[in-house]
Amino acid sequence: MSKNIKIFDTTLRDGSQSVGINFTVNDKIKIARNLDEFGVHYIEGGWPGSNPKDVAFFEEMKSVKLKNAKLTAFSSTRLKNIKAENDKNLATMIKTGVPVVTIFGKSWDLHVKEALKTTNEENLDMIFSTMEYLKKYFDEVVYDAEHFFDGYKANPEYALKTLKAAEEGGADWLVLADTNGGSMVDFIDSTFKTVRTMFAAPLGIHAHNDSELAVANSLAAVYQGAIMVQGTINGIGERCGNANLCSIIPNLSVKDDYITVPGESLKKLYYMSHLVSEIANQAHPDYLPFVGKKAFSHKGGIHVSAVRNNSSTYEHVFPESVGNERIFTVSELSGRSNIIEKVKNMGIDLRSDNEKAGKILTRVKELEAKGYHYEGAEASFELLTNALMGKQKRYFDLHGYRIHVWKNADGESWSEVTIKAEVPKSIAESHGYESHIEHTAADGSGPVEALDKALRKVLEKFYPELKKVHLVDYKVRILNAEEGTNSTTRVMINSADDKRRWSTVGVSDNIIDASWQALVESLVYKLMKDEMDN
């Protein structure tokens, strides 16, 4: 019989403590709405007593109706030597109007002495009285036993007393936290095995990833009786992060027989993962298990051939089960199987045409030997394939360009590009222009920016849709540094418009020429895709 596991998401609280992440109130509301739709059971929105932004978030959330999740606010036990009803942080929690509150307390006597600077007895009363007081105002009180495993290792008798104080005070949940993220799996396993026999309140796990074990420790806790798992989307969080719900959820529900989020939501996991990265303004890690763009990518020809026949030969789950997709990359390790699968996504069937598949494969290997890299440049591969099959349309031709780089006595520098290019006469005439040849100039802070501006200046009058294209990323790599200034340079450009993102590559011993290649292919790809859409 399947067992239900409650998913407690703390992306908006613990996850926001990750260096480089700064959610706005609107960001938090958007993520909360999506988490609710995704089907998590609890959304920890923040600590309203710690900053005005979280106060504003909870105030705004009063008008947001959640369908699946319970919104929870976070705070600590009452301050030492005062009554719970006189604690300002607890009063702020009550004002949030949320149905659930999460309170952390000290489990480790070292923290009681060094951080709280109080007695063990006073700490036990702080836990008990806080639980007892808050139970009057909230449907549920979740007690997070901070540093529980370190405390249990140092003084097991006292660590267990802190849990007892929380339970007797009325806590609905006892969540054991590996706050420093240093506990090993076997210790988590044995500790839960002991604790589960001593308390009636349901148990949860809150693991940090400082030893790269947060997911493993969370699973170990579940296997020993925990029925709540706390974590964040993509594992974001302070230091090395929190337990990654994007790995925990599919491990429990796809690979095992636990119920976490609704079954239909599992296919939204990829979307949820990428959404949080986008809102956090972070590059999404390509190699994240289950939800990374390359989690189900296959490069070696033998692998691809096997996966085509039976995906379980090199995949532990179906990528579609978590909303991801299988990717066949092309490189010097590729075989015909890679090419056949890759072009199938472009609507080209080469299963019965080994000659064309072989021609594309040979050309890819020749170019990769020169430094081209098509694994991350899907758009360039598509353009190359079309060219080799005689299907690539010419949208414009370059007559030539000249670059001037200036630097004045104050150290300021800029670049100017003069360019001459032509488009087909039919294109010029369709836009009301007599001349199909353009000769113009543009400047920029550097030669690549100036080149991009000049090329756009030539083309946008004929192809106004190019105004929607913007540069997302520009990467330069030196391939043979031992050659010094004569080294080969590879430029990768990531571009986007309002519908899609794509990557192109250029290679040359001249960085400007390599950039030109990637820039041109980026714009050609845009024009080709728009034409296909229409």
Name the strand (E) or helix (H) holding 205. strand 203-207
Q: Following CA atoms 259, 261, 265, 268 in sequence, which dihedral angle do they give, to the nearest 10 degrees?
A: -120
pTM of the predicted model as reported, rounded to 2 decimal places: 0.68
Please report the sign of the dihedral spanned by the C-alpha atoms of residue 256, residue 262, residue 266, residue 270: negative
Q: What type of residue sits at position 459?
A: L
Residue-level pLDDT at 337: 58
Query: What confidence score (pLDDT) does residue 67 get?
Result: 95
pLDDT band at 332 (very low <50, low <70, confident <90, very high): very low
What Rg do the C-alpha atoms of the chain give, in angstroms?
29
State residue 283's pLDDT score.
Answer: 75
Long-range pairs for 21-26 at CB < 8 Å and ≥24 separation?
Answer: 21/236, 21/280, 21/282, 23/279, 23/280, 24/53, 25/53, 25/56, 25/57, 25/60
Please name the residues in contact with 262: beta carbons below 8 A apart, sequence gap of 6 or more: 39, 68
Q: In degrees rounded to 5, what are phi and psi of residue 266?
A: -60, -35
CA dihedral 106, 110, 113, 114 (to 10 degrees): -100
Domain ranges of the chain: 3-279, 297-369, 396-462
pLDDT for position 95: 95
CB-based contacts of 370: which residues, under 8 Å, 6+ apart? 488, 507
Note the pLDDT of residue 333.
Answer: 45
Helices (H), 98-227: 109-111, 120-134, 148-154, 156-169, 185-195, 214-223
> Regarding the domain delimited by 396-462, which CATH topology (the fold level of the hierarchy) does it fall under?
Double Stranded RNA Binding Domain (3.30.160)
Mind listing the pLDDT tens digit for each residue in 442-495?
999 888 889 999 999 999 989 999 999 988 888 887 776 566 656 788 888 888
- If residue 494 lies in a helix (H) or strand (E), which one and from where to where? strand 489-496
- Residue 272 reports pLDDT greater than 90: yes
pLDDT, position 301: 61
pLDDT tens by residue, 177-212: 999 999 999 999 999 999 999 999 999 999 999 999
The pLDDT of residue 335 is above 60: no
Provide CATH code, domain 3-279: 3.20.20.70
pLDDT, one tens digit per residue, over 273-315 is: 988 987 887 778 888 999 998 888 776 566 666 766 777 777 7
| Contact between 145 and 162 (Cβ < 8 Å) | yes
For the chain, the first-to-last Cα distance in angstroms comes to 51
Q: What is the pLDDT of residues 494-520, one digit of tens each?
A: 888 888 888 898 999 888 999 999 999
What is d(CA 452, CA 490) in angstroms, rounded to the nearest whole number? 17
Is the CB of residue 196 less than 8 Å from the CB of residue 225?
A: yes
How many other C-beta atoms are found inside a 10 Å radius of the C-beta of residue 103? 26
Residue type, 64: V
Alpha-carbon gap, residue 322 to 255, rounded angstroms: 11
pLDDT averaged over every residue in the chain: 89
